[in-house]
């Protein structure tokens, strides 16, 4: 079993829909959880960053962490065609010296 | 310009040739990373470096060599390229290995014939 599992999609939704992207993980030591967004032929960029359990909201984006279920989610409200990208979850156990572990990424298309 | 730059952006080579991908960052970040990204595998860590002259293996280090004589540079060398090394390579930098804010370059697309 991979440490981080993420459905690769592709996921196609109409403009304005609520999108839910998810990852599960097996390492209970993970404490830092991130979502990166990657546009076609570009490098990933950090979108959301959360520590431990709970929710974090930033505009149309909400990140949720449920450590008891080892499950993290990213919600996109009022999705736009500009949200079309690959979304990668990433996580780490320590803030100092352990590299991030990435999910494989979910490819999202928002259709106008 | 400030940031992280990779070169070349595109490279075609033949099996058995040596190839070096360059990475340069201007933030003086301690950590630098090399990933490869392949369909079905996502981002996989090849090597990373915590500081000049300190490097460590990632998930898929075989066939690759790195060095870091200066904080700002982290070249990746394929000593004898194989077709299985055809991929998109991303360099990244950060203040810490697991703090989350990785800054990625634009990628180097390598094709090995």
- Residue A17 in this model has a pLDDT that exceeds 80: yes
Tokens 């959301």 map to which residue? A48
Task: Using pLDDT thresholds of 50, 70 and 90, give the confidence band for residue B110.
Answer: very high
Q: Which tokens hold the place of B82?
A: 């194989």
**Predicted local distance difference test score (pLDDT) of residue B108:** 98
User: Pairing between strand B10-13 and B108-112?
Assistant: parallel
What is the model's pLDDT at position A54? 84
Give CA angle at B26 (A39, B107), nearest 5°. 30
Rg of chain B (C-alpha set) = 13
B102 contact A CB<8A: yes
Name the closest residue on chain B to residue A105, using Cα atoms: B42
More confident residue, A9 or A89: A89
Instruction: For A28-60, write each residue's pLDDT tens digit.
Output: 989 899 999 999 999 999 999 998 888 999 999
pLDDT of residue A9: 87
A72 inside 8 A of chain B by CB: no
Q: Can you point out the beta strands (E) in A1-112?
A: 4-5, 11-14, 19-25, 32-38, 45-51, 54-58, 61-66, 71-76, 85-92, 101-102, 106-111
Q: What is the pLDDT of residues A55-88, one digit of tens each?
A: 999 999 999 999 999 999 999 999 999 999 999 9
- What's the number of CA atoms in the CB half-sphere (13 Å) around residue B65? 8
Q: Is A102 on the interface with B (CB under 8 A)?
A: yes
- List residues bridging with B111 in a β-sheet: B12
pLDDT of residue B2: 66
Please report the pLDDT score of residue A2 as a whole number: 74
* A vs B: CB pairs below 8 A: 67
The pLDDT value given to residue B4: 96
Query: Does residue B54 contact residue B69 with C-beta atoms inside 8 Å?
Result: no
A45 Cβ under 8 Å from any chain B Cβ: yes
Max CA distance (Å), chain A:
43
Question: Which DSSP symbol is given to B9?
Answer: S
B20-76: pLDDT as tens digits: 999 999 998 999 999 999 988 889 999 999 999 999 999 999 999 999 999 999 999
Q: Can you give the pLDDT at residue A93?
A: 83
Q: How confident is the model at residue B112 (pLDDT cuts 50, 70, 90)?
A: very high
Question: For residues A75 and B100, which has the higher predicted lDDT (pLDDT)?
Answer: A75
């Amino acid at each position: 079993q991979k440490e981080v599992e993420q459905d690769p999609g592709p996921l196609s939704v109409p403009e304005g829909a609520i999108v839910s992207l998810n990852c599960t993980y097996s390492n209970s030591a993970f404490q830092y959880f991130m979502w990166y967004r990657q546009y076609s032929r570009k490098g990933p960029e950090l979108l959301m960053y959360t520590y431990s359990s709970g929710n974090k909201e930033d505009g149309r984006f909400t990140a949720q962490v449920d450590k008891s279920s080892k499950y993290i989610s990213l919600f996109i409200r009022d999705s736009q065609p500009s949200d079309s990208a690959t979304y990668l979850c990433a996580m780490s156990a320590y803030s100092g010296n352990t590299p991030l572990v990435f999910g494989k990424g979910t490819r999202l298309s928002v259709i106008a | 310009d400030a940031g992280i730059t990779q070169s070349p952006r595109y490279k075609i080579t033949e099996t058995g040739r040596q190839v070096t991908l360059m990475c340069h960052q201007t933030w003086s970040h301690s950590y630098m990373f090399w990933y490869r990204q392949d369909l079905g595998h996502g981002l996989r860590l090849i090597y990373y470096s915590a500081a000049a002259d300190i490097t460590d293996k990632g998930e898929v280090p075989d066939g690759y060599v790195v060095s870091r004589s200066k904080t700002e540079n982290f070249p990746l060398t394929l000593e004898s390229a194989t077709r299985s090394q055809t991929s998109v390579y991303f360099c990244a930098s950060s203040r810490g290995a697991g703090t989350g804010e990785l800054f990625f370059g634009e990628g180097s697309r390598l094709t090995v014939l």
